[in-house]
Amino acid sequence: MTQKEMFGEAVWIEPSEPMSFSVMRAVFNIGDKFDRVTLKAVGLGFFHAYVNGEEVNDSAFLPLNTDFEARENYPSGEQLFGHRLIVPVFDVTDKVRIGENILAIHFGGGWYTWHGAPFGNAKVIYQIEVESGGRITRFVSSEKDSFAKSFVSEYSLTCLEKHDYRLLEEKAFDGIGYEGELAPAAAAKPVDTNYVFSDCPGDRITEEIKPELINQYEKDSIPCKVYDAGKNISALPVIKIEAAAGETVTLVFSEEKTADNKPDERFVHRQTFIAVSDGKQRLVSPLFTWFAFRFVEVSGDAELVSVGFVHSDIEVSSAFESDCDALNWLYKAYINTQLSNTHAGIPSDCPHIERRGYTGDGQLTCQAAMTVLDAKEFYHKWIDDISDCQDVLTGHVQYTAPYVRSGGGPGAWGCAVVEVPYRYYKEYGDIEPAKRLYPQMLRYFDYLEEHSYNDIVVSDKAGEWCLGDWCTLEPTSLPAGFVNNYYYVKSMKRVIELAGLIGRKDDVPALEQKIDARLKATAAAYFNTWDQNYIGNIQGANAFALDIGLGSEWTKNFLVAYYKKLGQYDTGICGTDVVTKVLFDIGEGDVAVDLLLGDRTFAGWMKAGFTTLSEYWLNSTRDRSHSHPMFGSVVTYFFERLLGITQEADSAGYEKLVIAPFIPSRSNSFSGSRKLPCGTVSASYDRDPENKDTVRAKIVLPEGKTALFRYKDTEMTLTEGTNQFDFKV
């Protein structure tokens, strides 16, 4: 949709005088009774809209983050595929009145104006539609509007927001005939983009937490209080200021505390919120950014009233519980981490340091997120972001979607253009996104061919990283070409499946030839014939090979023996997922569960008191993020393998539902549920306390749904409602 199609005669406007943050003011007059009044508005970066002093935003951090328009700081020589601006629509019927009304839009910081890679300057556009008896009257942004200065005085998207309440003029938001200092509006550069609507949920506070006061002291004669929110989250703090006019209150956020209950500077990541008092008692909170933390230091005459867990409004649509504490911890910690990394419509790597939609992290965790969360519309939007971030000229897929200059690699990152729409199809039964991106998938394969030598992916774009696996327990030893060939082959197999569903079967022979060539090249380059291992079986190498059809029985045996002896992961973000999957695939689920309970990895984080998943395993000396979801991909197997809620290989959207559990020897009881397109399916398994070889199962299926139950040689049909039975293990 063009700007005119979306906003009619409205124009983009900005202050005629320089203002870092500002409040746009417009007066509109409704002359008669009305049936409905709607507001379409976009402030760039983030914005808050008010009608007659009442905020109308139903979400925080609007507009949703996209590749808004073409800009200069793309990779050299690249032209991205598409640009979108998602336009929110608000029903303001209950906020307007007959006569004069005031619209105020407070805007400034956000991805559009982010100093790291700005698209342009802050600006705003709106259209108000008044419906009355079938007639529509429109009011639009124009140079007749005006701007007041904001009380937000300093800002950085990832780490800083400062409010000076001495500059706050509340009448600027709701006052007709406001007499404060105003700057006239000036026409701003239009945003050359595709204007669209979206069902992707925005950010909301889903949980209000009362923090615990754990320390009080003085620092440079300033009183300080330290609070514990109880868990590491992305949040909006609410503070009550009682300071005298001109005094400053400073909040510092950290993921860890020191032994003397102060914020650990190593995990602050520069995150700071500052409020300068105007002498009035106020409840205040950040407006244009969130912070990621568990512990908060409040310096000055104020107290932390609450902490609001803020993230994309995605429902947790699953449950899991077992008699293994580490598995329960991992399920909860993954959800906590994944939700903390859903903001403005993208799945990020971390909610503080970078906040970027890495295609590597995102493709690893997309199935887990779709399993435990009701995330269909969220991922539908992110698939469009992946589509937009492909280079039209070469087919290169960026490391982040929307694009922000970052590091990554070819297959393990760029193959998100295949993996995310494919998983979306398998989970929800909706092939439309995969069908739409199918030509882009083939174009990316062309790119990988052009960056290969002897059928091994050996490079990415010149001057950029070419990673394979990442964040391994010890320094990464797996060759990047080996890992990226794995993702390339896996993606081609996905595309062959899709080709048969969308009428592109003629593409299959060429893809099969490429797969054959890649498998032969991988075996020739990395297979040790003398011991049947791939690259000495290091860091999950045998699992990567087995998962794409390579290796022998010896390769499998060496993989199992190695991890039985090691008892924990030595892998990175890619290998952790692959090793877990393959061990379940080859009937070695007990070994997989032992790894999940390993003391130096997941169980180690639990014992260290973490409430989220970290960027690095415990052996790392790097003081980095404690909120990275990428290792949480393994939570998929809690549902798909342990609970056994899965589907036939030729099924999508769980049309052909199968319940095929794995009963680990280390567990006597586990249960859970997840929401499928057909409804919620639950399963529980309990060993008979007197006969450990007998398991009591309870499977509950939605109305009208049947499923096949499979366990070793046992197979039976389950029907809607509750199915209870015993089986032997």
pLDDT in tens, 357-416: 999 999 999 999 999 999 999 999 999 999 999 999 999 999 999 999 899 999 999 999
pLDDT at 170 over 90: no
Instruction: Report pLDDT digits (tens) over 656-666.
Output: 999 999 999 99
Task: Give this prediction's pTM.
Answer: 0.97
Q: How far apart are CA 412 and CA 415, in angstroms?
A: 6
Would you tell me which CATH number, out of the four given (2.40.110.10, 3.90.1150.10, 2.60.420.10, 3.30.70.100), belongs to the domain 657-728? 2.60.420.10
pLDDT at 620 over 80: no
pLDDT at 333 over 80: yes
The answer to whether 413 and 397 have CB atoms below 8 angstroms apart is yes
Instruction: Report pLDDT digits (tens) over 676-723.
Output: 999 999 999 999 999 989 999 999 999 999 999 999 989 999 999 999
The answer to whether 535 and 478 have CB atoms below 8 angstroms apart is yes
Would you tell me which CATH number, out of the four given (3.30.1330.60, 3.40.50.1000, 2.60.120.260, 3.40.190.10), belongs to the domain 3-151+168-197? 2.60.120.260
Instruction: Report pLDDT digits (tens) over 47-100.
Output: 999 999 999 999 999 999 999 999 888 887 888 889 999 999 999 999 999 999
pLDDT band at 265; cut points 50, 70, 90: very high
Instruction: Let me know the angle formed at the C-alpha of 479 by 586 and 557, rounded to the nearest 5 degrees.
Output: 25
pLDDT at 621 over 80: no
Instruction: Please give the radius of gyration of the chain, using alpha carbons only, rounded to the nearest integer.
Output: 27
Going by CATH, does the domain composed of 318-642 fall within 1.50.10.10? yes
Residues of the chain with CATH 2.60.420.10: 657-728
Q: What is the mean pLDDT of the chain?
A: 95
**More confident: 503 or 477:** 503
Q: What is the pLDDT of residue 422?
A: 98
Q: How far apart are CA 524 and CA 720, in angstroms?
A: 51
pLDDT at 602 over 80: yes
Poorest-confidence range of 140-149, 172-181, 515-524, 567-576?
172-181
The answer to whether 308 and 205 have CB atoms below 8 angstroms apart is yes
Q: What is the pLDDT of residue 115?
A: 78
Q: How far apart are CA 269 and CA 353, in angstroms?
A: 6
Residues of the chain with CATH 2.60.120.260: 3-151+168-197, 204-312
Site of tokens 């709607």: 38
pLDDT at 622 over 70: no
CA distances for 140 relative to 25, 41, 63, 95, 100, angstroms: 12, 10, 18, 18, 15
Q: What is the pLDDT of residue 197?
A: 97
Q: How far apart are CA 185 and CA 151, in angstroms?
A: 19
Both tokens of 592, joined, read 């997989």
Instruction: Report pLDDT digits (tens) over 217-241.
Output: 999 999 999 999 999 999 999 999 9
pLDDT at 108 over 90: no
pLDDT band at 451; cut points 50, 70, 90: very high
Both tokens of 234, joined, read 């992305």
End-to-end CA distance of the chain: 59
Instruction: Report pLDDT digits (tens) over 309-319.
Output: 999 999 999 99
Long-range contacts of 640-649 (CB under 8 A, 24+ apart): 640/371, 641/584, 641/589, 641/592, 642/322, 642/589, 642/593, 642/670, 643/320, 643/670, 643/671, 643/672, 643/674, 643/683, 643/685, 644/683, 644/710, 644/711, 645/674, 645/676, 645/681, 645/683, 647/426
* Stretch 183-202: mean pLDDT: 97
CA distances for 415 relative to 322, 362, 530, 679, angstroms: 34, 11, 33, 30
Q: Which CATH architecture has domain 204-312?
A: Sandwich (2.60)
* Stretch 117-143: mean pLDDT: 95
